[in-house]
Amino acid sequence: MRYLVLLATLLFWSGSAGAEPGTEWKAVESKGSAQPSPVQGAVQSYARKYKPTAIMVVQDGLVVATSGDVSRKVNVRSVRKSFLSALYGVAIERGQIKLESTLAGLGIDDTAPSLTPEEKQATVRQLLMARSGIYHPAAYETSDQKSTRPPRGSHPPGTFWYYNNWDFNALGAIYENATGSNIFDSFDKAIARRIGMQDFTAHDGTFVGDGSSLYRAYVFNMSARDLARFGLLFLNMGRWNDVSVIPSQWTADSTKAYSETGRKDRGYGYLWWTLNADVWGRNAIFASGYGGQLIVIVPEKHLVAVQVVELDQSQKGIHSTIFLDLVRQMMAPAD
C-alpha cells in the first residue's frame, strides 16, 4: 500500500499546472524529517533495482524526486522526434511549412529504388503521424524496425500506421529545407534558450546517416533536468513565464491520438505517444527513446517524470513500460 502514500504526497502538491523554474530548479521544501519523502523513496528503490542514469520527477514546477546525475547529457534516442514536432509547430505558425504539402511538391525523393509516384503523394501531416506508406530503408533504424518494415507499396499513404524512421528522418530534411536552419541551432534558439535549459547547446546534436537513405537521423544528447523543462513546457500548453514558445493549438493538435498502435495503452499523435485516458487521465502523453529515455506528462496530476539511461553503461537499457508502471503506480487510487 506504499503507493497510497505516494498518491497522497502527489495530490498534496497539486495546484496550478506548474510554475516554471528560474535559472535553477526548486525542490519541494522538506518537512524536517530525515527520511526521504514517499515519492523520493520509491524513486530510490526503483533506481537501486534498474540503475538508470538519472530520474527527475516534477510537480507544479517543483522537483519532488531525483536520482543520479540529472545534469549528465545522454543520447535520448527517439525522444528527438518530439523535439522536432515542437519545431514544426513553430514553423507551421510562421507559414514556413504546410501540413498538406506533398513530397512531390517538396521535391523529396531518395536513393534507389527511389520513391514511386504514389509514395510521393504522402503529405507532411502523414509523415508526422507515421502513416506515409513509404517503406524505404532508413538511417538509425533498430533491428526490430528493419525486421518489421512492411514491403514497399503494401499500404497507400495515410492508410497504415508504422513507426517509421524514414518518415522521421525525412521530416528533419523537410524542416531544414523550409526554414533554412539546422535542427539543433533551431532547437537551441527557439526552445532551449527560451525555457532556460541548463545543459543543452546546439553542439549536443549530431547527424547520423548511412548509405541506406539520403536522410540522416538528428541525434540529441540531453540531461534529465533539461528534458523536464521540455516536459513542463508541454504541460503548460507551450507557454513559459506566460509567453508563447510553442503555439498552444499545436501542443493540443500534436498530442492527440491519430493512430492505434497495436497496444491498448497508447496511441500516436504527431511524433508523440499518447496514453489511455481511462488509466492516465485526459491528455497524458510521453516521448520515448530506445533503452528507457522517457518524458512522461500527466496533466491531471500536473506531473512530469523523466528518465535517461546511458546505454554505454547499461546495454540492455530499461523497457519503457517499467518506468511508465512506476509513474502509474504513484497515481493509483486509494482503495
pLDDT score recorded for residue 195: 98
Domain 2-73+222-330 has CATH 3.30.360.10: no
C-beta separation of 144 from 126 below 8 A: no
> Residue 320: which pLDDT band, with cuts at 50, 70 and 90?
very high
Percent of the chain with pLDDT over 90: 85
* pLDDT reading at 31 higher than 90: no
Cell of 148: 518489421
How do residues 248-287 score in pLDDT, each as one tens digit?
999 999 999 999 999 989 999 999 999 999 999 999 999 9
Sign of CA dihedral 254, 255, 257, 263: positive
How do residues 6-29 score in pLDDT, each as one tens digit?
544 444 334 446 689 999 999 987
Q: Which of 215, 230, 247 is nearest to 95 (CA)?
A: 247
Instruction: Look up the pTM and report it.
Output: 0.93
Give kind and range of the element (H or E) at residue 12. Answer: helix 2-12
Cell of 314: 547499461
Q: d(Cα 268, Cα 312) in Å, to the nearest integer?
A: 29
Per DSSP, helices labelled H in 22-180 are: 38-50, 80-93, 103-106, 124-128, 143-148, 165-179
Q: d(Cα 126, Cα 278) in Å, to the nearest integer?
A: 27
Mean pLDDT of the chain: 92
Q: d(Cα 275, Cα 254) in Å, to the nearest integer?
A: 13
Cell of 27: 525542490
Give kind and range of the element (H or E) at residue 227. Answer: helix 224-235
3-state secondary structure of 217: strand
How do residues 133-148 score in pLDDT, each as one tens digit?
999 999 999 999 999 9
* pLDDT reading at 216 higher than 90: yes
3-state secondary structure of 177: helix
Q: Residue ranges per domain, the chain?
A: 2-73+222-330, 78-184
Q: What b-and-e string marks burial along 136-175, b requiring 16 or more CB atoms within 10 Å of the CB?
A: bbbbbbeeebeeebeeeeebebeebbbbbbbbbbbbbbbb
C-beta separation of 58 from 231 below 8 A: yes
> Residue 316: which pLDDT band, with cuts at 50, 70 and 90?
confident
Burial of 90 (0-12, 13-18, 19+ CB in 10 A): buried
